[in-house]
Structure 1
Amino acid sequence: MKVSVGFLTYNSDKYLPDFLESLVRQSFKDLEVLGLDNGSTELTTGGSRDDSAKFIQKNYPQIKFFQAKENLGFSKGHNFLINVSRGEYYLCLNPDVLLELNFIEELARVLDEKPKLGSVGGKLKYWDFKIPQPQYQMVHGEPPLSRGQEQQGQTLTVPKGSDPVAKEQLRGQDDGKTDMIDSLGLKFKASHCFEDLAQGDLDRVEYNQSRQIFGPSGAAALYRRKALDEVVLGQSDCFRLVSANTHNLKSSAYYQFFDENMFAYKEDIDLAYRLQWTSWKSWYQATAVAYHHRSAMKRKAQNAKLKSFLETRKQKSRFIKKMSTLNHLILLSKNFSWRFSWKIKISTVVLELGKFCYLFLREPYLLRQYWKFWSIRKKLHISPKKVGVVEIEKLIYWRDGRNPPSLF
């Protein structure tokens, strides 16, 4: 088995028809597909519970689909799938992506040709996702109601989800593909501020050049299993939190590849950092194209000025800000080195002090995350530094634009 594809669902049923169709139609066939539902609970527009598991079991029986007893988060969920996978490579996917036909083939070819690479990502463009009516019925078996129709007691008439005509009608509609970049990989700044490369830009010629990057976006990233085994963090308890269903699960030890102290957000940055410290490089492959549905709010925030940034930050949920604050402290404590150049050390310290002052004045409830970090700090696995800091600094984007020639 060459590639194991793993995806998590959490109230994600609206994406599944498009996502899974793009997955099963891939030109690359030497793969297995694994899925895990993270305890979906949301009620849909039609008033029914998220039906991801039933939809997959009925329409895609070739997918090995598991159900968690609770929401495991991104890290623990993918750790479970990596542990039960059999592939030489592991493709980490979000269900809110749409893959071009050769996406997996292009990524797998790169890892085959470049044995020093631990990970590779493609060109992610923004997916302007809008759920069409036939797609809703494919998942729920009943049509959605618009707000006006609900008030009038009317229903919509759409083709049955099991009818192949409905699927063809669905594919024929506007698929929402755009030329706006969502991510070309992870951007590592001298201050240890991380962003998605080229996010919000329109696709252009220079983005057609494949090259080395710090790491891929966790929304669609292919990892070499051998590389993941080298950065394992210890054992995981994910096995006991997943229902076996009809699949026979091994009871031997399960391991952490993504850090399970990071429930969600920035876990892909931490993994990219750990792989770099162990000399596993990462690559951006321009010919592997996919589309990712991400909020416009976040896309605008990347290059926003202070006023816009403050307005955007107000719109983010407390949960997101809590996870982001805690996880940034975790990845810094594990991966930062005092052997970095003075410019990096000063930039990082100044930014962290500035963030602390901002939180103290504007969002004091987030200061609890510092205490939470302090309480778990002794349990964290500090990343072994097998390469010199010079190798890491080659990947950094400087404020004055002095970027290495291998980077954008």
Structure 2
Amino acid sequence: MPKHPKVTIGLILFKGEKYLKYSLTSLINQDYSNIEFLFRDQSPNGEAYEYVKKELPEVAKKVKLEKGGNLWHSGGHNALIRQMKGEYYFCCSNDMLYPKSFVTDAIRELEKSENKKYGSATCRLMRWDFEKVQEGNFEASKTKVIDSLGIGITKSHHFVDIGQGQSNSTPYLNLKEIFAPSGALAIFRKSVLDDIAFTNDKGIKEYFDELLHYKNDIDLAYRLQWAGHPCLFIPQITVYHDRQVGLLYRSDHTIINRLITQAGKSKWAKGNSFFGDIVVLKKNFTKNFSWNVRLRTWWSRLLKFIFALFLDVSLLKQYRLVNKFRPEINLKKRAIVRRNSPSYIEKLML
């Protein structure tokens, strides 16, 4: 590769020590030479920090490891992005297994002249059956079941993991441009993050919206699309993921399965997911979408309200919470850089 731009790999640690021996080791042993590793432990008592220091000294030597309060996904990654020195930010997870050439292959694709327009990227995520690792059958843990091939957007403004639960990824190998990278593994050019960042009232840049604990990845991706920075899918890279939250590898995304998934989440997860869903639409939905998209989206919103009203009234307080933060939400909405038209966004819809 003629050019080796500096890469920053950012990782938020929050418990999950069982994965670290495998995940972090695979991450630091990349064959790409120009990497800085920024890891932040947000565990309640610094458990992951202490584990890495004591049990993984070879990892600790290669990374900048800090610990601090729980800023959640948005605040934690924002803190790392503000420190980074690289041209690319790899937003990684600690419940994944990475191939040795992961960074090399990603940078090779993104540095191609025809791919310079892409502001973000992701790759093929397959299910990592970690129970097999614990049973001593490491190779069998790498399954052929799709975890995510990136995020797709539907005309009703549902956001789905492309291909999730399917055992054949061949039909998707010709995909190139998708709506968004998976929040579990996303690659960003630092320049595009700076382009769409929101400067808060303290003068601090927010890349991920720190109001959101769920759907923050969707919100960031939507803002990148509005600003004219599309997302590249790189199918030749395979990373394995032991998904902790989300669909339990269902191969379809019908309203019934979405409701089943919603019902299966913890109260905290349901509330924050519901809140994030509303805020993403408040910021990004526009009346300039076609009638088809508007009607489908409004109908979907109505069904979600009915679900909350009759099946989970605890979710109704999320509407009050959105109203409480309305001034901040509106401020962030006005700050969105909009170079692309709604018709462009619609072309990406499934």
The amino acid across from 2:247 in the alignment is K
Distance of 1:66 and 1:203 partners within structure 2: 40
The yes-or-no answer on 1:388 pairing with 2:338 is no
1:8–1:35: 8 Å Cα contact kept in structure 2?
yes
1:40 to 40, 44, 48: 44
Distance of 2:42 and 2:204 partners within structure 1: 18
1:221 to 175, 186, 191: 186
Aligned positions, number: 339
The yes-or-no answer on 1:26 pairing with 2:30 is yes
Distance of 1:42 and 1:25 partners within structure 2: 24
Where does residue 267 of structure 1 map in the other structure? 216
SS of residue paired to 1:117: coil
The runs of 5 or more residues in structure 1 that have no matched partner are 44-48, 135-169, 238-252, 398-408
The runs of 5 or more residues in structure 2 that have no matched partner are none
Change in Cα spacing, 1:269 to 1:115, as seen in structure 2 (3 Å) is: same
Where does residue 262 of structure 2 map in the other structure? 313
Q: TM-score, with normalisation over the residues of structure 2? A: 0.90
Distance of 1:362 and 1:208 partners within structure 2: 39
CA apart distance, 1:52: 3.5
The yes-or-no answer on 1:118 pairing with 2:119 is yes
Change in Cα spacing, 1:287 to 1:15, as seen in structure 2 (3 Å) is: same
The amino acid across from 1:393 in the alignment is E
CA apart distance, 1:306: 6.1
Distance of 1:223 and 1:343 partners within structure 2: 32
CA apart distance, 1:312: 4.2
CA apart distance, 1:314: 3.1
SS of residue paired to 2:111: helix
Where does residue 329 of structure 1 map in the other structure? 278
Where does residue 107 of structure 1 map in the other structure? 106
CA apart distance, 1:309: 5.2
Q: Can you list the C-alpha shifts for 1:148-196, whole angstroms capped at 9, x where unaligned?
A: xxxxxxxxxxxxxxxxxxxxxx7x7446101111111111000000010
Distance of 2:126 and 2:201 partners within structure 1: 34
Change in Cα spacing, 1:119 to 1:305, as seen in structure 2 (3 Å) is: closer
Alignment of 1:226-241 (within 5 A): 226-235=191-200
Where does residue 148 of structure 2 map in the other structure? 183
1:236–1:256: 8 Å Cα contact kept in structure 2?
no
Change in Cα spacing, 1:302 to 1:80, as seen in structure 2 (3 Å) is: farther
Where does residue 205 of structure 1 map in the other structure? 170
Alignment of 1:9-408 (within 5 A): 9-41=13-45, 51-55=50-54, 58-60=57-59, 61-68=61-68, 70-113=69-112, 114-130=115-131, 173-174=138-139, 176-235=141-200, 254-262=204-212, 264-295=213-244, 298-301=247-250, 303=252, 310-380=259-329, 381-382=332-333, 383-397=336-350
Segment drifting more, 102-111 vs 348-357 = 102-111
Distance of 2:229 and 2:148 partners within structure 1: 21
Distance of 2:27 and 2:251 partners within structure 1: 30
SS of residue paired to 2:127: strand
SS of residue paired to 1:178: strand
Q: Can you list the C-alpha shifts for 1:41-89, whole angstroms capped at 9, x where unaligned?
A: 498xxxxx88444347733211001101x21100000000101010000
CA apart distance, 1:315: 2.5
Segment drifting more, 355-364 vs 199-208 = 199-208
Change in Cα spacing, 1:190 to 1:56, as seen in structure 2 (3 Å) is: farther
Distance of 1:71 and 1:228 partners within structure 2: 22
Distance of 2:38 and 2:289 partners within structure 1: 40
2:288–2:342: 8 Å Cα contact kept in structure 1?
yes
Change in Cα spacing, 1:325 to 1:280, as seen in structure 2 (3 Å) is: same
Distance of 1:327 and 1:313 partners within structure 2: 13
Change in Cα spacing, 1:371 to 1:130, as seen in structure 2 (3 Å) is: same
Distance of 2:19 and 2:284 partners within structure 1: 35
Distance of 1:11 and 1:78 partners within structure 2: 16
Change in Cα spacing, 1:386 to 1:369, as seen in structure 2 (3 Å) is: same
SS of residue paired to 1:86: coil
CA apart distance, 1:228: 0.3
Change in Cα spacing, 1:112 to 1:201, as seen in structure 2 (3 Å) is: same
1:118–1:275: 8 Å Cα contact kept in structure 2?
yes
